[in-house]
A = this chain, B = another copy of it.
Amino acid sequence: MDLALPQIKNLSIREQSLDTLREAILSGELKPGQALKETDLARHLGVSRAPIREALRILNSEGLVETIPYHGTTVRRLTKTDIEEIYSLRILLETYAMEQVIEKCQGADLQRLRDIVDRMVSAGDAGDLIAVNALDRDFHDALIEMSGHQLLHSMWLMVAMKVRQVMALVNRRNTDLTLIARKHLPLLDAMEAGDSAEAKMILGRHIATAGDLIAEDWVEP
């Protein structure tokens, strides 16, 4: 039985609804402030309200939606302060993860990160913006994973979700394609050199500038 059949995943309606709604929020399809009426959602997805409600409770504790009793659930609004908090926490979590990675992977296992950056640079040169963004996410996700800190990872996922949402909502005029990719090179160098302080500095500034650019002209609806 070495047949490599694809795993059949029997996801519950709740999970499917959850994934669908979460993706819609993170992609900006569902905009902050928008009302999420259980009946409507159930009808649109062709299911009953029960699994929808459970999905909404999960989204609520993930901080993506807000529920007022007997009034309704809405996509959580994002203030300028929220943006600043998201990015400051992202810096905190990622620099910590990187510190751990540097300690553990003494110049060795960083090949995984190197591969991602290489592909990112290629994609940047080719002008493939989507690929650059995907690989950028991969890079930071790999960084967290490599720390081997599960709780840190779960916390980071929450922040990363909000980052995705913010990126989707802002009028992306980011443009500088190859620049973003190549910015990761000195970071990797510092990591391989085991220079934790320098690496933290670079990563911190890297994320902070990205956050500042977005927070700068953030307009709340």
Contacts and interface: CB of A to CB of B under 8 A. Distances in A.
A45 interface: no
In the complex, which range does the number of interface residues on chain A fall in? 20 to 34
Main secondary structure of the interface of A (DSSP, over half): helix
A19 to B, nearest CB: 14
B58 A155 contact: no
The quantity of this chain's copies bound in the complex is: 2
A89 B144 CA distance: 13
A86 interface: yes
A155 B155 contact: yes
Nearest to A69: B12
Given A57-B54, A57-B58, A96-B92, A63 B154 contact: yes
Interface of A: 12, 14, 50, 53-54, 57-58, 60-63, 69, 81-82, 85-86, 88-89, 92-93, 96, 149-152, 154-155, 158-159
